[in-house]
Amino acid sequence: MLKTVQITSGGGGGNGTVTSVGLSAPAIFTVGGSPITSSGTLSLTYSGTALPVANGGTGVTASSGANSVVLRDANQNTIVNSLTEGFVNVAAAGTTTTLTASSAPNYCVTGSGGQTYQLPDATTLTAGTNYFFNNNQSSGTIVVKNNSGTTVATIQSGGYVEVLLLVNSPAAGSWDVHNYAPSNVSWSTNTFSYPGSITSATWNGVAITNSYLANSSITLGNTAVSLGSTASSLGNLTLANVTISTGTINVQTTNLTSTTSASATFATASLPLVPAGYIQVDLNGTVVKVPYYAV
């Protein structure tokens, strides 16, 4: 708080006299009325110079570049060129790391053996808080649990996951999980390339039709089967315009009986004397050869 001090010369008790009183102050103030030689008022006003950080100030009156204190605009927004969040690179130890509100948000796990992370008490966070987990282990998962110990995400080797807090009450919170593509996946507006195995998927909820299999090829054992204009469905598989190259196709079947029959329709009524090859069929342990002909 700034105060105005008024000094009046003249009589009074005590010894000695004062002929001049002056006031000096830090640069953030402007001094007025100094010195006083008879009577007058000393005043302090703000000069517009910033209070230094060492004295509890910001050091600036406006954001001024490198090493400056960041100030918000009238909309409470701040614009920066780059913002780097805390990052932890850790070797897997098969243990549990319990995070708090002051923990870094980014984690990369290397090595092998797995690692578990328990998220902070959601009531100590604000909604929208997010954490990122990068599994760079050669083997082993990252398991992410909420503050109550319930698994929120399991991240396989090569996976990268963002965990986002939607609701910060109760302590367990409500977390949203999003998986990012691993480094061996690439795609564009027209292509998708993934060298791994798809363990669970539905192709638009419908059977695979000739638009997916036509003009492709399948290898059965050591035999290549070319599919021309193919009408195909998985389960009961029917093929049209099929060309089988020279060789033997081994067919493994079960639960066949002597009454099991099959039929075929050929483009010609006559067959050559020598078959083009044989299909080897295992009938409940008895192997038989069924000839096929080029027609």
Answer yes or no: do 45 and 105 share one domain.
Answer: no
160 and 234 in a single domain? The answer is no
d(CA 67, CA 58): 11
In a domain, 192, yes or no: no
pLDDT score, position 22: 85
Number of neighbours of residue 152 by Cβ within 10 angstroms? 20
Q: Global pTM?
A: 0.55
The tens digit of pLDDT for each residue in 237-248 reads 444 444 555 444
- 91: its two tokens: 């070797």
| Residue 202 CB coordination number (10 Å) | 6
Total domains present in the chain? 3
- Predicted pLDDT of residue 156: 93
Same domain, yes or no: 175 and 242: no
Pair 106, 173 in one domain: yes
Examine residue 254 and state whether it is found in any structural domain, yes or no: yes
The reported pLDDT for the residue numbered 233 is: 39
**Same structural domain, 123 and 170:** yes
Cα–Cα distance between 193 and 195 in angstroms, integer? 7
In the chain, DSSP assigns E strands to: 5-8, 29-32, 39-46, 87-91, 96-98, 106-110, 115-118, 130-135, 142-145, 151-155, 160-167, 174-180, 186-187, 192-193, 216-220, 223-227, 242-244, 249-253, 277-283, 286-292
Q: Is the dihedral of CA 216, 221, 223, 225 positive or negative?
A: negative
Q: Are residues 219 and 282 in the same domain?
A: yes
The pLDDT of residue 239:
46
Q: Which domain holds residue 174?
A: 87-180
Residue ranges, the chain, pLDDT below 70: 1-16, 63-68, 202-274, 284, 293-295
Alpha-carbon distances, residue 109 vs 19, 134, 163 (angstroms)? 76, 6, 16
**Strands of 87-91's sheet, edge to edge?**
87-91, 106-110, 130-135, 160-167, 174-180
Asked, for residue 187, whether it belongs to a domain, the answer is no
Last residue of a domain, one of 129, 160, 180: 180
Residue 250 counted as domain residue: yes
Residue 78 inside a domain? The answer is no
The tokens describing 87, both together, are 């990052």
161 and 109 within one domain: yes
